[in-house]
Structure 1
Amino acid sequence: MAKITIGVPVYNGEATLERSLESLRTQTYRDIEIIVSDNASTDCSAEIAQSFADRDPRFRVVRRKTNVGPVPNFFSLLEMAETDLFMWRADDDWSNAEYIAELKAKFDADGRIRLAGPEAVIVRRDGSIANVNSFVAPWQRLRILRVGHVLMNLNASSIYGLWHKPTLMEILSRTRANYQYIWAWDHMAMLPVILSESVTGSNLAKLYVGQPDAARYSAKEPARIMWEMRGAFRRACFAELWQLDWPLWEKLLLAPYLLRYANVRVYRFWKTVRRHIRQIV
């Protein structure tokens, strides 16, 4: 059995899927299984995925007859995986050939690691680089400052890094009960491994985050829901904090970091205020 499973959810991703899957097929770390879950695409996504499965037994394609929605399709891949190490891959992202090897090396080097994230390279539609979000390891001697540093600097694309699957499953069962929204679920999922200092990263693992021509999924929440999300996210953050086996004084000193984390990871305060004003005038 493979040592690492990569789950690729796709819906109408024919424009970018082949590049994404090819970057997985050519990884230098070979002991992998790639599961592509096609969510009843109306384009050639399923056929593209099947062409990889026909040529490489490490690929497996799940073809849904009806669209179950992006969220169930995304999380179903985690449930399909039978390995202890797992990662998601967006159908419009791709990576360098050493991506998995570099992240797996982080697990091999430190048994405490539960998430190893990449450097995220944001690529414009014309192929130019818009931004590079590197992993900056904490250097501070105090635990509060180290955790605070990672809270403020870990990039969102780390959710597409390499996870210890049992830990991720346990985190999701707990955090999804406390925070039942999809927006910012990735930051909520990463919070426990940040607090436990079991997350790291490698800037030798490059995740290229593409920008498609048009969004396939979009949502514009009313201000009331935005306020609810902010409150729920903040409460869930502090639920994670209070369960830590830390002295009370450390928890209290970390609280300002968590308040800032909650403000910037969901909907920012002033963005929510502006939408509220637009809806009432």
Structure 2
Amino acid sequence: MSNELPLISIGMPLYNAEKHIRQSLDSLLRQTHTNFEIIISDNCSTDNTVGIVQEYAARDSRLKLYQQSENIGPIPNFQYVLQKAGGAYFMWRSYDDWSDDNYLEALGQLLDRDSSIDLAVANIVKVKESEQKPVELYIEKANGSTSFSSSLHMLKQSHPGWMYGLFRRKVALAAINDVVENFPHVWGWDHLILFPTVSRNRVAASDDTRFFQRETGISHSRYRPKLPREQVSLATDFYQVCLRSYQKSDAPFLAKLAMALYLLRYTSSKTEKFTRILRIALKLRKP
């Protein structure tokens, strides 16, 4: 057996995934690019998730299963699979999403060809109750620019599904380490993972493959904050993580100043709209 590291590591954090896990794994194992590993971390599932994964791992040595001794929470579990990765490129895959068979090949080629790209993404198709809705891509060529206009364009076009694109592993690791350390929330964390790469205009897209993202509403009901004080805490932490990230970039002073102002609007759109927080607060204060 070869001791060479795979080019691509795929991280799949799991919890009670038995309903859709087979479809997701089958999609990965059909990939035309085959030099990859699948790192799976089960977060103390109470259904048959582990049994299904063990069945697949017995047939394909590229699957590596880790079982947490206690539930470590969703974001640390995403971090865990990345920390176990050895490939130069890394991709997260949710248990209920899937992609075209050439997904890894098409996105890997983008990263291979251009060192100014840190994240390769594809056409996204949102799936809800079997209804499919494509998400249009309007991405200009990545150039690593941190000018305000360049960053603004990319931030406006970014989609949370981009988090399941193909990263350079070290870039993804730096992003999630920062989130785990400085953002004690789940709602909105995907945008923070993307922000350092998107705001530096280091994203490229392929029109030759598709990513299918299932919308279940679970995250909305489970993790979205309900009380104004929770929403304010979320928005404050989100703003600070974004601002600190952009301030560390090589953007010119005026770009950093403009971004500090724009991030107020960006935070409102990606966490909780400030007007909504105010309405809820006023409603709760009524006798």
**TM-score of the two chains, using structure 1 as the length reference:** 0.90
From 135, 140, 158, give the equivalent of 1:138: 140
- Kindly indicate whether the alpha-carbon contact (under 8 Å) linking 1:114 and 1:167 is maintained by their aligned counterparts in 2: yes
The question of 1:204 aligning with 2:205 is answered no
Mapped partners of 1:88, 1:145: distance in 2: 29
Change (3 A) 1:69 1:179: closer
Q: What SS class does the counterpart of residue 125 from structure 2 fall into?
A: strand
Counterpart mapping for 1:37-48 below 5 A = 37-48=41-52
From 165, 170, 173, give the equivalent of 2:169: 165
The question of 1:232 aligning with 2:237 is answered yes
User: Is the deviation greater in 238-247 or in 54-63?
Assistant: 238-247
Change (3 A) 1:159 1:140: closer
CA RMSD in angstroms, aligned pairs only: 2.4
Q: What SS class does the counterpart of residue 35 from structure 1 fall into?
A: strand
Spell out, residue by residue over 1:191-225, the C-alpha distance to the aligned partner (whole angstroms, 9 max, x if none).
11122221222233311111348669713422101
Change (3 A) 1:138 1:59: same
| Structure 1 residue ranges without an equivalent (≥5) | none
Mapped partners of 2:186, 2:217: distance in 1: 23
The question of 1:264 aligning with 2:269 is answered yes
Partner of 2:31: 27
Mapped partners of 2:142, 2:44: distance in 1: 48
- Kindly indicate whether the alpha-carbon contact (under 8 Å) linking 1:100 and 1:205 is maintained by their aligned counterparts in 2: no
Mapped partners of 1:243, 1:216: distance in 2: 31
Q: Which amino acid aligns with 2:252?
A: P
Q: Which amino acid aligns with 1:128?
A: E
| Structure 2 residue ranges without an equivalent (≥5) | none
Identical aligned pairs, as a percentage? 29
Spell out, residue by residue over 1:148-204, the C-alpha distance to the aligned partner (whole angstroms, 9 max, x if none).
111011110111111111122223334544444332122122111122221222233
- Kindly indicate whether the alpha-carbon contact (under 8 Å) linking 2:9 and 2:38 is maintained by their aligned counterparts in 1: yes
The question of 1:187 aligning with 2:178 is answered no
Shift of 1:65: 4.1
- What is the number of equivalent residue pairs in this alignment? 279
From 8, 11, 16, give the equivalent of 1:7: 11
**TM-score of the two chains, using structure 2 as the length reference:** 0.88
- Kindly indicate whether the alpha-carbon contact (under 8 Å) linking 2:97 and 2:213 is maintained by their aligned counterparts in 1: yes
User: Is the deviation greater in 131-140 or in 192-201?
Assistant: 131-140
Mapped partners of 1:264, 1:151: distance in 2: 11
Partner of 1:155: 159
Counterpart mapping for 1:119-130 below 5 A = 119-125=123-129, 127-129=130-132
Partner of 1:66: 70
